[in-house]
Structure formats: structure tokens, C-alpha cells
Amino acid sequence: MTPHTSAPGRAPAAATGLLVGGAAGFLLTEAVAVLVSLAVGEPLDVGGGGPVRAVLVAAVLLCALAGALVGLRRAGRPGGPRPEGGR
């Protein structure tokens, strides 16, 4: 196995990233919906489905996927303090 697939703690890190990313995506879509409803004066209508609902669901799923990828990347890094100003 390669070091990237056998590193301990990658699955919990990916799951945590998925949940945090999904929550961030949900908050992002809610914030956009509030801003649009304030600008237009009416709430977004996603009850019947359509493209608006598809865009909102896709945004949450993309944020969740991005969170899982960030979790995987961070789990693969060696621990310990970083030097000042370093990445």
C-alpha cells in the first residue's frame, strides 16, 4: 500500500470534512436565498423542483465533496508545529 492510502485517520478526516463541507454549503445556500429574497422581495420558490433546486442541491454537494478532499489532504500531512509563516 502506498503511504497515502494507508495513513491512519484518513477515513474519519474525510467524513468530518464531508460533514463540515456539507454544513458550509447549506449555510451558503441559505445565505444566498436570504439575500435574493431581500433583493427581490419574495422568497425563492423551490417547492416544485426545477433548476433553482438543482443548483442549490449541487452547491451543497460540491461543498461537501470539497470538504472531504480537504480532510483527506490534511490527514495525509505529517503532524507537528509548522515554522513561522510556512505552509
Q: Could you read off the pLDDT of 30-60 as tens digits, one per residue? A: 999 899 899 998 887 777 778 888 888 999 9
Prediction pTM value: 0.73
Average pLDDT, the chain: 83
Separation of alpha carbons 54 and 47, rounded Å: 12
Question: What pLDDT does residue 82 have?
Answer: 60
| H-helix or E-strand spanning residue 47 | none
C-alpha–C-alpha distance, residues 1 and 56, integer Å: 38
Q: What are phi and psi of 4, to 5 degrees?
A: -75, -30
Distance between CA atoms of 86 and 63, rounded to whole angstroms? 26
Answer whether residue 11 shows pLDDT above 90: no
CA distance 17 to 69: 7
